Amino acid sequence: MPGLIEPHGGKLVNMILEGKEREDALERSKKLKKVILNDREVSDIEMIAIGAFSPLDGFMKRDDYHSVMDNMKLSNGLPWTIPITLSVTNDEAADLKEGEDVSLVNKDGEILAVMQIEEKHNHDKEKESLQVYGTGDMAHPGVAKVFEMRDVLLGGRVSVVHRIKQEKFNQYRLDPEETRTLFKEKGWKRVVGFQTRNPIHRAHEYIQKCAMEVVDGLMIHPIVGETKGDDISADVRMKCYEVLLENYYPKDRVMLVVNPAAMRYAGPKEAIFHALIRKNYGCTHFIVGRDHAGVGNYYGSFDAHYIFDEFDPQEIGITPMFFDHTFYCKRCESMTSYKTCPHDSSCHITLSGTKVREMLKAGVIPPAEFSRHEVAKILIDAMKQ
């Protein structure tokens, strides 16, 4: 679409069959062998289908899988940092042949797509853990997920015949083609994307609004796919985003759009991955804060900034906007960061995640300098349930 940033690889992929082609494929799919997908693979099918994972048109074959781990690029040289894979057991793999078509189904047995198995290849779990997540520690949720997966990977193109009707957040479910159309209609040439899996506190709000000073619009793009068990639910988070946008953001310059992807918790590697996804949605800029997509103490606070230096900016295409640790300073009497505040930490209002959770569980609203009271009330109510 003229005037908008090109999708990664130059073309927005669409793997959704329509009309007679869909009807024929759906009828044929009923007679094929079935491969049952886990929740993350279901999310990945959706992301492939709508072009959010452009240029991928299916699950990775051997060359792409190893190139991503070894070089942070697809085998054709395009930057890519997270393997997108479909796994089966050894017994299941023995019953499947390369060149054979299979039906991909969810846990309820609903047929989502037809896939031609172009390759069967080994799932190198140790290598994937070390090279994508930087650790083999099973306490890391991304590593644990890798080892939950099965031992053989199936690679090949997918043709989606059925998108599951979602019950939640439908007003915010926009495909990349739709966000791109809306950006154009709004006249937004410079759009910044913000990734989140948490409620937005004052520091997040501050960096979003700093970014908004130099772009035309902001797309808040929260993950609503699979997250780890102790993350705040998407239902609660969405209420927090809605109340913030209603009260504190200019309505003509912000869009809230859900991201159906699953979290990987891969830190710096996932920062690149998240940037490329937002590029496909039409964003020209992407906010990268402290410890982006991190978990525990596995990554340095700014590793997600440094990894962008390993790529040619033109290869990535989308412009990262790096932000330091932000907080309210009592001396400055404003939100600020280590880049702009001259005062020592005794003047800063910062709270650990553990401290905030303790306050909320006790029904105590954190300081206004840390969190908007409307957001805190939603979180307190949720914790009572």
Contact status, residue 223 vs residue 194, Cβ threshold 8 Å: no
Q: What amino acid occupies position 114? A: V
Given 38, 40, 180, 197, which residue is catalytic? 197
Q: How far apart are the first and last CA of the chain?
A: 46
The yes-or-no answer on residue 372 being catalytic is no
Give me the catalytic one of 71, 106, 198, 357: 198
DSSP string, 81-127: -S----EE-HHHHHT--TT-EEEEE-TT--EEEEEE--EEEE--HHH
The SS3 of residue 194 is: strand
CA-angle at 229, arms to 228 and 233, nearest 5°: 90
Q: What are phi and psi of 362, to 5 degrees?
A: -85, 0
Catalytic (active site) residue 357: no
Residues 6 or more apart from 178 whose CB is under 8 A from it?
none
Q: Which of 157, 159, 150 is nearest to 122 (CA)?
A: 150
Rounded Cα–Cα distance for residues 44 and 53 (Å): 8
Catalytic residue positions?
Answer: 197-198
